[in-house]
Chains A and B, each alone.
Chain A
Amino acid sequence: MKKKSKSVSYAKWGYVFIIPFFLCYFIFSLIPLVDTVRYSFFEYYRSGIKAIGPNFIGMENYVSLLQSDMLDYTGNTIILWVIGFIPQIVIALLLANWFTDIRMKIRGKQFFKVVIYLPNLIMASAFAMLFFALFSTNGPINSILTSADLIEKPIDFMGTVFGTRSLIGLMNFLMWFGNTTIMLMAAIMGISPDVFEACELDGCTGIKRFFYITLPLIRPILAYTLITSIIGGLQMFDVPQILTNGQGNPDRTSMTLIMFLNSHLKSKNYGMAGALSVYLFIVSGILCFFVYRMTNGNEEEAAKKAARKAAKKQAKKGGVR
């Protein structure tokens, strides 16, 4: 015999309400994710319209990937990420610091916040198309430079390794610095004004205040930014894909890991692409771990939270795209 409890339990409604999310997650994320890993042990692709496989081949996909140019593409990806990330974090820190400085009294703060965020709203592929047109050999940038007599012959931006990589870095910087600025601003505004006031009374200069107060106190958010940016960087795809027409020109020096993965998917090579995804997953996991340890100071709790968030995000994105 069950006795009717007097208090009504609302807990079950909580579960009912989150069921749709878990159902969607299970069907659209978890199953494909597990399948990706499973297929990485199979030979499975299409030749013309004939499907080959799936035949179990053990670790062969992993081995042949290691023998391919995968490591070069990893290098490319990291280089491309670094040239985009360094200016991004420097400018974002600077801007965030200025915008939150009470003494500076910048006018039109809201306006600038919107403006620096705007590039992020454009689709990455559209942005890359725009740059492709702007910087093509007979494009407007070259026309302006030639008619201003700054150069004699049009510069072949996309024909050199330096040019292509810089353009990709520039685009990633432009697209993401606004987002980072706003995140860092939120972090700085979260610091108690008392601390700033106290340091000013003690005679801190602006630079000292930045390095000894602001920076240590926003470390958890910095760690979060770094981790999400690394993961985003590892998955860099649309900008170089569109800018180089999927070829990673010149000489495959701007071929990123996901572009490599994408070219396997042209033949529906689920096995190879799956193995590559697993590698990517492991690499992002290791990177996350390092960054987490590096920045893990007093704010252990907060950093843990950030890392967990990032890991979750990665888990969602880890599948074959």
Chain B
Amino acid sequence: MRKKVIASLLTATAVVGMLAGCGGSSDSGSDTAASGEEGKVINIYSWNDEFRTRLEAIYPEVESTSDDGTVTTLKDGTEIHWIINPNQDGVYQQKLDEALLNQADAAADDKIDIFLSETDYVYKYTDADADVAMPLEDLGIDPDTDLADQYEFTKTTASDLNGVQRGSTWQCCPGLLVYRRDIAKDVFGTDDPATVGEKVKDWDTLAATAEELKAKGYYTFASYADTFRLYGNSIDEPWVESGETVININQNIMDWVDASKEWLDAGYLDKTVKGQWNDDWNKSMSSSSKVFAFLLPAWGIDFTLSPNWDGEDGAWAVTNPPQEYNWGGSYIHACTGTDNPEHVKDIILSLTADKDNLIKISKDYLDFTNTVSGMQEAAKDPEFASEFLGGQNPYEYFAPVAENIQIAPLSAYDQGCVELIQNSFSDYFQGNVDYDKAKSNFETAIIERYPDITEVAWPE
């Protein structure tokens, strides 16, 4: 008898849960807010709580956040609803795309007000034809004056083809070379960042250094994928020209392929580490590994290297990379059709244009933030020294890299191209297929991913 009661209770709760799930999205709010009047709910689409924590920390209007982190209440009673979907396997983009397609028909309080995007796919949303991200000027933000202190390339990245800026970011992701001090001492006799920097200043010098490292039994980098961003994020032409359906493989990419094959065969890279973000890669950041260096931006040191390192603090140091590059970055967009333009404007300005706020983020979360003057000050300020890097101030190296970044022109196909070219050629690096087969495998894969692509043009 008791079992039956429990069973029916369980069934009932399951059913109620389902019904509640169905009803949740349709019962909130009035139909259309009168123009000029702000809505009561700000819906923000994102893939993790990174943006929420930054907003809570520095946005002065924040009153409180619910315990489960889904609703933040502002001082004037407006609620921010956080809609979080993971980035993995394109889930975030799928959910966001669905919501954007329904944006016009959604009730005012259900409309997306702000959404975030990453550099890899920011272009998909800033596209002028798609018109899902509002031009900042329409919000009342003048990029030339209000965002004057931002790094120029972050503004270019968030602009559409006509140069209209449709997003803004609080972070900037210049990458550095992060190396193990003990290995440097063993091989070069010193761990001084300036001396090591001299040994890795360009690709040719680095290759000579790699030979030295190899002689002592060390790998220079963990995987062939480690160097990809340096080549791939500095291409001078987009993967696909606007309005065309041909993928142009840049010479830089083929240079990466040749160099990676050469380095792998020469034993400068660890053959057992295939690509990034896998277990082997994570392990190569531990104290038992023989890998000398990684190429990472600020978030990479904080989110990837530091959790994977199992030794004492102070074992790593940063220096200049062989080539300036940018890797990652989250952009804030105001969504077309928002019913809270004033709040959205305020949030964007407060999070991406207020120097004091940005410096606070840098201090609290070790983000390299989007303020040229602020970061120049941080580079000279000993308060920004990092314990993990043995008291070194990484901003001293980040700031000049950020100023020299030549950002690659973007296209809507970047994410697939970057992912698939690495996958297709990893078979070639491991000796499973020859060069031409790897090329044709890439062609097959890219046309599967993007049906509108008609041709792949390889450099001569």
Contact = CB atoms under 8 A, between A and B. Distances in A.
A55 interface: no
Contacts of B279: 133, 136, 138-139
A70 to B, nearest CB: 11
B127 interface: yes
A156 B450 contact: no
B124 A250 contact: no
Interface centre among B433, B448, B451 (most CB of A within 10 A): B451
A160 B433 CA distance: 11
B441 A251 contact: yes
Interface string A154-170: 10100111000000000
A51 B430 CA distance: 38
A136 B279 CA distance: 8
A263 B452 CA distance: 14
B100 interface: yes
Given A138-B280, A250-B432, A252-B441, A45 B451 contact: yes
Interface centre among A68, A136, A245 (most CB of B within 10 A): A136
Contacts of B283: 138
B445 A251 contact: no
Size category, A interface: 20 to 34
B439 to A, nearest CB: 12
B101 A267 contact: no
A159 B412 contact: no
B23 to A, nearest CB: 19
B93 to A, nearest CB: 9
Nearest to A133: B279
A50 B100 CA distance: 11
Contacts of A52: 451-452
A122 to B, nearest CB: 19
Contact of B423 (A247, A267, A269): A247
A263 B445 contact: yes
B448 A48 contact: no
B124 A251 contact: no
A124 to B, nearest CB: 16
Interface string B431-455: 0110001000100110011111000
Interface in A115-163: 133, 136-139, 154, 156, 159-161
A49 B278 CA distance: 30
A182 B319 CA distance: 63
Interface string A45-71: 111111110000000000000001100
B244 interface: no
Interface in A235-272: 245, 247, 249-252, 260, 263-264, 266-267, 269, 272
Given A49-B97, A137-B272, A252-B444, 4 more contacts: A47-B452, A138-B280, A266-B448, A267-B449
The 4 closest A-B pairs by CB, nearest first: A137-B272, A250-B432, A48-B412, A48-B124
Interface of A: 45-52, 68-69, 133, 136-139, 154, 156, 159-161, 245, 247, 249-252, 260, 263-264, 266-267, 269, 272
